[in-house]
Amino acid sequence: MRSALLGAAANILETEGADALSVRRIATEAGVAPMGVYNHFDGKHGIIEALWIEGFDRLRTTLEALRSIDDAGQALVAGIDRYRRLALDHPTSYRLMFLGAIPGFEPSADAAWSAALSFEALVANVRRAMDARAITPGDSVQTAQIIWAAVHGWVSLELDGMIFLADADAGVRAMARSLIDGFRTSER
């Protein structure tokens, strides 16, 4: 029932937006009594928090999968594309995670940990690239924050229809190469 409720809430969020999320609407979509929402999630806030965690878990898994790419520098470039693809495939989830899509929602400290784990997955990839001398060794947390901020900026603009290029895919690839090249070491 938990996954049915989460699936229903995610579907409503993606197709109808945050304003359509209510305990009654989620329960109806899942085919259960409204009490089911309270039994499994302690209400609407609990479901929203579970969706928030699910989004960051999906992001963490995506970033951790970059380890399968042998070239650590290429893994960072691929990570930018995968981050963007995740946001474009789940725009409302992305807005929930990063852009305050649900006014008044504040994740608990436990839920915020899922965001920290996603960031740590990026830091691990940056560290790996530094160790491989694909980018200049330095403060991996700072470098990861710069990369995340740049990609988040691109994705946020794209989700809001503010990319003025004929080919957004080529544009984001150019941004990714420029960003990673800016961190490259001459010792490579």
Output the pTM of the full model: 0.88
Tokens of 60: 């963490």
Collapsing DSSP to helix, strand or coil, 71 comes out as: coil
Phi then psi dihedrals of residue 52, to 5 deg: -60, -50
CA 135 from chain centre, in angstroms, equals 23
| Alpha carbons 179 and 175: distance in angstroms, whole number | 6
Q: Which domains are delineated in the chain?
A: 1-42 (1.10.10.60), 53-182 (1.10.357.10)
Q: 107: alpha, beta or left, given left = phi > 0 and alpha = psi -120 to 50?
A: beta
What does the buried/exposed string (b/e) look like for 57-75 if buried means 16 or more CB atoms within 10 Å of the residue's CB? ebbbebbbebeebeebbeb
Nearest alpha carbon to residue 129 among 186, 59, 74, 61? 74
pLDDT tens, per residue, the chain with 188 residues: 888 999 999 999 888 888 888 999 999 999 999 998 898 988 899 999 999 999 999 999 999 999 999 999 999 999 999 999 999 999 988 999 999 888 889 999 999 999 999 999 999 999 999 999 999 999 999 999 999 999 999 999 999 999 999 999 999 999 999 999 999 866 54
